């Protein structure tokens, strides 16, 4: 299966920072080792052009990001130290989601081994998220005339506030977020459908809630393109997430979302979003299982 990555573009981080910068290279190695993607099927994304970012985000915010002039308050909200390398990597992450979404529209499924930066809104960049890759990709593909109606299924443990800010008001996009009720962000911007799950929610209750949410969202969206944020942070061992899914439970989640979206006729673009296991290899296991589930569906066609 073809996938996109930007794992070689790293950026300076303080020691012991929680952002899992090593995850991306380990995941690239893992999907190749698993046979999910051949080495020449792993593509490196180009940085998204600036004007594609300003088509979605506040141009003044983008200018501050570009020149390193974020305010102290913005810096703190972002949680990552600004550097030119951080910005370059963020642009490549968006580039990967655009390519994966384009491939999805062409072949039914596409995946970026990154992206899902759902806390970035029109005029804010926070929670480790510089740019909202999903909103930018949707805008681009609409501008190219290849899609109109969209659905975002956000299964990261954190609520998708930036996506709700950008796409919630859009009548041709339905935003669904399933997340820990007590997880960040503490001030929410409402999605079209938000499902708050109690602390410690496990596989069975989660999958039931997800099935119901998809029953509601899919017919209302009538989407030709769906984005699936397959966050690894609802895992029971995650340091930030307050839910308690097992690894098999997370795979069942992926399969439920992929199969329901494909059955609806929508093209599906899969992005990673978060994952903060103590041992990064646990996050890589979860992400690699998602990629393998996508690949099985690519090859079954
Ligand atoms: Zn998250």
State the DSSP string of 149-184: -EEEEE-SSS--HHHHHHHTT-TTEEEEEEEETTSS
The conformation of residue 235, written as its DSSP 8-state character, comes to B
What protein residues have CB closer than 5 angstroms to ion ligand 1?
Answer: 156, 158, 233, 274
pLDDT for 300 equals 84
Report CA(158)–ligand 1 centroid distance (Å): 4
Report CA(78)–ligand 1 centroid distance (Å): 13
Report CA(275)–ligand 1 centroid distance (Å): 6
37, 165, 253, 272 from 169: Cα distances, Å: 37, 7, 27, 24
Task: Answer yes or no: is pLDDT of 271 > 90.
Answer: yes
Exactly one of 119, 158, 216, 299 is catalytic; name it. Answer: 119
60-69, 109-118, 292-301: range with lowest mean pLDDT = 292-301
The conformation of residue 59, written as its DSSP 8-state character, comes to H
Q: SS3 breakdown of the chain: % helix, strand, coil, rounded to 5?
A: 45, 15, 40
Q: Tell me the pLDDT band of 182, cut-offs 50, 70 and 90.
A: very high
Report CA(113)–ligand 1 centroid distance (Å): 15
pLDDT for 224 equals 97
What tokens does 229 get?
Answer: 């944020």
Report CA(195)–ligand 1 centroid distance (Å): 15
25, 104, 124, 226 from 140: Cα distances, Å: 27, 14, 20, 14
Report CA(234)–ligand 1 centroid distance (Å): 8
Give one DSSP letter per residue of 117-134, joined into a string. Answer: -TT--SS---TT-SS-HH
Q: Is 299 noted as a catalytic residue in this protein?
A: no
Report CA(160)–ligand 1 centroid distance (Å): 9
Q: Give the residue-averaged pLDDT of 268-282.
A: 97
Q: What are phi and psi of 223, to 5 degrees?
A: -80, 145
The conformation of residue 15, written as its DSSP 8-state character, comes to T
Please write the tens of the pLDDT for every residue from 38-90: 999 999 999 999 999 999 999 999 999 999 999 999 999 999 999 999 999 99
Q: Give the residue-averaged pLDDT of 145-152.
A: 96
Q: Tell me the pLDDT band of 299, cut-offs 50, 70 and 90.
A: confident
Which residue, chain included where needed, has tokens 């209750």?
205
pLDDT for 241 equals 95
Report CA(26)–ligand 1 centroid distance (Å): 19
Report CA(143)–ligand 1 centroid distance (Å): 29
Mean pLDDT (the chain, rounded):
97
């Amino acid at each position: 299966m073809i996938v996109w990555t930007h794992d070689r573009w790293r950026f300076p981080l303080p020691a012991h920072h929680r952002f899992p910068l090593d995850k991306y290279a380990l995941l690239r190695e893992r999907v190749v080792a698993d046979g999910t993607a051949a080495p020449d099927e792993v593509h490196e994304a180009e940085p998204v052009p600036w004007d594609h970012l300003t088509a979605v985000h506040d141009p003044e915010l983008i200018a501050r990001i570009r020149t390193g002039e974020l305010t102290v308050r913005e810096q703190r909200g972002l949680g990552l130290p600004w550097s030119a390398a951080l910005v370059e990597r963020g642009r490549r992450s968006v580039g990967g989601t655009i390519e994966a979404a384009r491939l999805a529209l062409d072949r039914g499924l596409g995946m970026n081994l990154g992206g899902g930066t759902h806390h970035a809104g029109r005029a804010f960049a926070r929670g480790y998220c510089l740019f909202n890759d999903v909103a930018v990709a949707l805008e681009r593909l609409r501008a190219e005339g290849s899609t109109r109606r969209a659905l975002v299924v956000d299964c990261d443990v954190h609520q998708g506030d930036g996506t709700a800010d950008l796409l919630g008001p859009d009548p041709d996009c339905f935003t669904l977020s399933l997340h820990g009720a007590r997880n960040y962000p503490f001030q929410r911007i409402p999605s079209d459908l938000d499902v708050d799950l109690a602390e410690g929610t496990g596989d069975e209750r989660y999958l039931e809630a997800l099935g119901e949410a998809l029953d509601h969202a899919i017919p209302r969206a009538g989407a030709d393109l769906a984005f699936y944020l397959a966050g690894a942070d609802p895992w029971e061992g995650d340091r930030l997430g307050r839910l308690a899914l097992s690894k098999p439970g997370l795979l069942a989640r992926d399969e439920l979302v992929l199969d329901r979206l494909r059955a609806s006729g929508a093209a599906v673009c899969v992005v990673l979003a978060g994952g903060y296991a103590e041992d990064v290899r646990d996050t890589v296991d979860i992400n690699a299982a998602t990629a393998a589930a996508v690949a099985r569906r690519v090859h079954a066609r």
